Structure 1
Amino acid sequence: MSDEPAPLGAPSIRNLVLLAIPAIIIGVISALLLWTLDRLAEWLQQGLWQALPDALGLSRESPWLTLGVLTITGLAVGLVVQFVPGHAGPDSATTELDTPPPRLREVPSIALAVLISLAGGVSLGPENPIIAINGAIAVALCARFVKVVPGKVAILLASAATIGALFGTPVAAALVLTGTVAAVRGGGSLWDKLFLPVAAAGAGALTMHWLGSPPLAFDVPAYGGPSPFDFVTGLLVASVSAGLGILAAFVFPYIHRAFHALRHPVLFTTLGGLVLGILGIVGGQITLFKGLEQTGELIANPGDYSTGQLALFTVVKIVALLIAASAGFRGGRIFPAVFVGVALGLFFQSTIPGMPVGLAIACGAMGVVLLATKDGWIALFIGVALTGDMTLLPMLCIIVLPVWLLVTKAPDLAVKAPATPQR
């Protein structure tokens, strides 16, 4: 055997096994932090939306409750952004899933801002902030205790672990990170590079399952099998969904600029909370919050909502997403985008005779997520994961191709970060 060292990118089996230990630890820690944030948000949410109205003698569906809680939520987040050390990190409108993590001293303020946003009913998910938090903590821990793990690798592991925990499976992380690791030059197979991220993602996903977090899949009638008509209707739903996302991406910078023209976070987040409260009154409380549980409500009981209501939910949620992301709230855009896609898919399913529910849901979610992430793998994954039906995959793989041509040159659902971050 040659003593020549393995080429860059082709680590030895021994190194992979040894590095898998910190990868798994990062996976468990990342999942625990996500679970803790979720539980704290749920506890605060129950206080705001259940205990508070009961104490005040208000109906939990009262429009005054919706308006008041969201306005106060905006004020609270604005106070954190403007006055708390760390200023809640970078504006979430300017961040993506792979954005470099913030400085460690910004983490407490980010956690506080996203906790308030999640509990207060803001239409943003936890994904961007919790990936940022876990990335910053992973880098700090590895620099202190496991110096053999470089900072860039620690960030990759924390991202993979958090994505695995968010979606309940390491497959999501493997798909999302395939493009990232494939772009890295050097020898070795793709799975040499994915080995450690998948280990971290698997640990994160298993930890969330052991902690009792529900899986992403919902109970949807079986698809049955593909037909030419399904391609036509599925492409229609996915294209309209992606088109709605393109329209949102086009107006996003203008809405963001309008809110930030007020200059002070307390002003623009409070105004944002007020607008979100009005939207919540118009669309109902199902259009509030990050959207995952509300997506389950739509899928479980599609017959409870008229075609007009589904259209209203779609429009209100996409506007609420834009307002929340523009007005300085901290959170991610994928989970609310999924709600938008599912509501739109069910709208088309209610108007197109014989369209399978699973196909409508999957195509609706896939279109807008494809625009939101510019990643075909995660869009396909979410389409299948929502329904839990692998028989949809061949049809989705064909439908995603023309939809990708539609979104690939479209603007991103993000805002370019200013040269000097606004505090």
Structure 2
Amino acid sequence: MSAETGAAAPAAAERTLRATLLTPGYARLLLLSLLLGIPIAAFCFFFVGLQHQLEHWVWESLPKAVGHDSAPWWWPLPALLLAGLILAPVVTRMPGAGGHVAVHGLSGKPVRPREVPSVVLAALGTLPLGVVLGPEAPLIAVGSGLALLALRRSAAARDPQIVAVVSTAGSTTAISTILGGPLVAAVMVVEAAGLGGTRLVILLLPTLLASAAGSLVFTGFGGWTGLNAGGLTLPTVPPAATLDAGDFLWGVPAAALIAVLASLAHELGLRTERWTKRHTAVRTVACAVAVGVCLTAYALLTGRSPEEAALSGEATLVRLAADPQAWPVAALIALVVCKGLAWGIALGSLRGGPIFPAVLLGAAAALACSGLPGLGTTSALALGVAAATASVTGLPLTSGVLTALLLGKDAYQQMPLIVTASVVAFIVTQLLRREGAKKR
């Protein structure tokens, strides 16, 4: 390619971008994305707020009402049985089957409005009962479905490109509300789409506007209503220390170990999905009960509350980050094993998102290694979150940004380790899954 041709390509791309940005249709698309961000975020706020209220009632208020200080060891068994009984007819009879199966990651496909009720019912009917999955996948589906609902009666609904952009804007609005704001959502869109140049900017601007509006609504509603909508945040982390050779000496193999554990859970999820394709209703209930057995095993092995291993894990992550010393190594190992098994089963049979539980499992596995000479507690927390997120999402850049936002001011010191852990975990995961695909 000649120098003239090489210089002309960026100029042509710039002209194309400018022409697209100045078209009335694209201006309307940006305005629509901004306006959609507000009602979608409002719906998601009350959706997540209700989920947390139900979790509080199931795992704290109800045990106290029947005479227990906290949820007893056997509590997950009836709770997960009920979750399975609620989910089975949703999966087998309702449009959308309650959402996509979590073992396949975060689906980016547009969700039809008629599928949204099954997603909402599956999430609110099962996640508060202790299903070891997060709210992020249901929120993405709800955001997409509500955004497309706004287009249903317009001519734009017949344009596949507009449908794709509006659906993505709705999804990023929803996901930004619980992943630290529009920045993480935007980075996730960029990395997951694998786009570049003009197409990237055209897709990114609507999603940024929609998610920014959604993040603002979420922030305001928390103060106005008094509801706790949760989200993946760490108010307190251990005091940070300067990185040294020991952090990398132990951190790199720890990141690889976390990737191996996540890949084993993923393989369990794939096997579970194949198993539940026949006799789906009965086997869905059986898988839910199996998750309950894993949570009960954690409580029996450690003498701690089964709530620590149940649910999506953000509340346990906050307690773990605030006071890691309160967790014996044996309890951390039991959490990784029992919750990891429960998570693997849930990935292939129940409904929800894969990220939140993975973050807790990664942090717990890394903190279990923090007693090794030279590996600091904050470094272990940082690499655990980064490695687990990269392994589960397959998005190393997104995992680095998310981890940095979680750690706040302490992220600056840990950034080299965060990036290294993300890359190591991503590579190990890709190698393991490729080998697994060859064997199958």
Give the TM-score normalised by structure 1.
0.86
State how far apart, in whole Å, the 2-side matches of 1:204 and 1:147 are.
23
Which residue of 2 is the match for residue 405 of structure 1?
427
Which residue of 2 is the match for residue 374 of structure 1?
394
Q: Deviations over 1:361-384 (max 9, x none)?
A: 111122222121111112212322
Q: Decide which moves more: 14-23 or 170-179.
A: 14-23
Q: Decide which moves more: 25-34 or 206-215.
A: 206-215
Q: Deviations over 1:373-412 (max 9, x none)?
A: 1111122123222322222113322343343332233329
Shift of 1:298: 1.1
| Pair 1:235 & 2:244 matched | no
State how far apart, in whole Å, the 1-side matches of 2:235 and 2:400 are.
16
Contact 2:332/2:368 (CA < 8 Å) preserved in 1? yes
Q: What does residue range 9-20 of structure 1 map to in structure 2 within 5 Å? A: 11-12=20-21, 18-20=28-30
Contact 1:9/1:192 (CA < 8 Å) preserved in 2? no
| Corresponding letter in the other structure for 2:414 | L
Q: In structure 2, which of residues 252, 265, 268 is the aligned counterpart of residue 251 of structure 1? A: 268
Q: In structure 1, which of residues 215, 220, 243 is the aligned counterpart of residue 237 of structure 2? A: 220
Which residue of 1 is the match for residue 143 of structure 2?
134
Q: Deviations over 1:268-289 (max 9, x none)?
A: 2221222122212222220000
State how far apart, in whole Å, the 2-side matches of 1:405 and 1:65 are.
39
Q: What does residue range 301-320 of structure 1 map to in structure 2 within 5 Å? A: 301-320=323-342
Which residue of 2 is the match for residue 357 of structure 1?
377
Shift of 1:127: 1.1
State how far apart, in whole Å, the 2-side matches of 1:142 and 1:280 are.
43
State how far apart, in whole Å, the 2-side matches of 1:70 and 1:59 are.
20
Q: In structure 2, which of residues 30, 52, 55 is the aligned counterpart of residue 45 of structure 1? A: 55
CA RMSD of aligned residues (A): 2.7
Gaps of 5+ in 1: 416-423
Which residue of 2 is the match for residue 179 of structure 1?
191
| Corresponding letter in the other structure for 1:205 | S
Q: Deviations over 1:138-158 (max 9, x none)?
A: 112024368398111111211
| Corresponding letter in the other structure for 2:332 | L
Q: Decide which moves more: 58-67 or 383-392.
A: 58-67
Shift of 1:182: 4.8
Q: What does residue range 110-189 of structure 1 map to in structure 2 within 5 Å? A: 110-144=119-153, 147=156, 150-183=162-195, 188=198
Shift of 1:341: 0.5
Change over 3 Å in CA distance of 1:210–1:257 after alignment to 2: same
Which residue of 2 is the match for residue 99 of structure 1?
108
State how far apart, in whole Å, the 2-side matches of 1:130 and 1:236 are.
34
- Say which SS state the counterpart of residue 71 (structure 2) adopts: coil
State how far apart, in whole Å, the 1-side matches of 2:137 and 2:122 are.
12
Shift of 1:222: 4.1
Number of residues paired by the alignment?
403
Which residue of 1 is the match for residue 37 of structure 2?
27
Change over 3 Å in CA distance of 1:410–1:24 after alignment to 2: farther
Contact 1:337/1:369 (CA < 8 Å) preserved in 2? yes
Q: Decide which moves more: 385-394 or 168-177.
A: 385-394
| Corresponding letter in the other structure for 2:385 | A
Q: In structure 1, which of residues 287, 296, 299 is the aligned counterpart of residue 318 of structure 2? A: 296
Q: In structure 2, which of residues 219, 231, 245 is the aligned counterpart of residue 209 of structure 1? A: 219
Shift of 1:192: 5.0
State how far apart, in whole Å, the 2-side matches of 1:182 and 1:10 are.
23
Contact 1:217/1:385 (CA < 8 Å) preserved in 2? no
Change over 3 Å in CA distance of 1:145–1:355 after alignment to 2: same
- Say which SS state the counterpart of residue 211 (structure 1) adopts: helix
Contact 1:122/1:324 (CA < 8 Å) preserved in 2? yes
Contact 2:135/2:353 (CA < 8 Å) preserved in 1? yes
State how far apart, in whole Å, the 1-side matches of 2:68 and 2:413 are.
47
Contact 2:60/2:71 (CA < 8 Å) preserved in 1? no
Give the TM-score normalised by structure 2.
0.83
Change over 3 Å in CA distance of 1:324–1:228 after alignment to 2: same
Contact 1:122/1:276 (CA < 8 Å) preserved in 2? yes
Q: Decide which moves more: 204-213 or 293-302.
A: 204-213
Q: What does residue range 410-421 of structure 1 map to in structure 2 within 5 Å? A: 410-411=432-433
| Pair 1:346 & 2:367 matched | yes
State how far apart, in whole Å, the 1-side matches of 2:386 and 2:145 are.
30
Which residue of 1 is the match for residue 81 of structure 2?
71
- Say which SS state the counterpart of residue 105 (structure 1) adopts: helix
Q: In structure 1, which of residues 254, 273, 282 is the aligned counterpart of residue 288 of structure 2? A: 273
| Corresponding letter in the other structure for 2:263 | I
Which residue of 1 is the match for residue 346 of structure 2?
324
State how far apart, in whole Å, the 2-side matches of 1:43 and 1:402 are.
38
Q: Deviations over 1:114-158 (max 9, x none)?
A: 111221111001111221121122112024368398111111211
Shift of 1:336: 0.5
- Say which SS state the counterpart of residue 165 (structure 2) adopts: helix
Shift of 1:194: 1.8
State how far apart, in whole Å, the 2-side matches of 1:324 and 1:407 are.
20
State how far apart, in whole Å, the 2-side matches of 1:174 and 1:102 are.
20
Gaps of 5+ in 2: 1-13, 223-228, 299-305
State how far apart, in whole Å, the 1-side matches of 2:18 and 2:414 are.
35
State how far apart, in whole Å, the 2-side matches of 1:371 and 1:154 are.
28
Structure having the larger proportion of residues in helix: 2
| Corresponding letter in the other structure for 1:280 | L
State how far apart, in whole Å, the 2-side matches of 1:251 and 1:9 are.
48
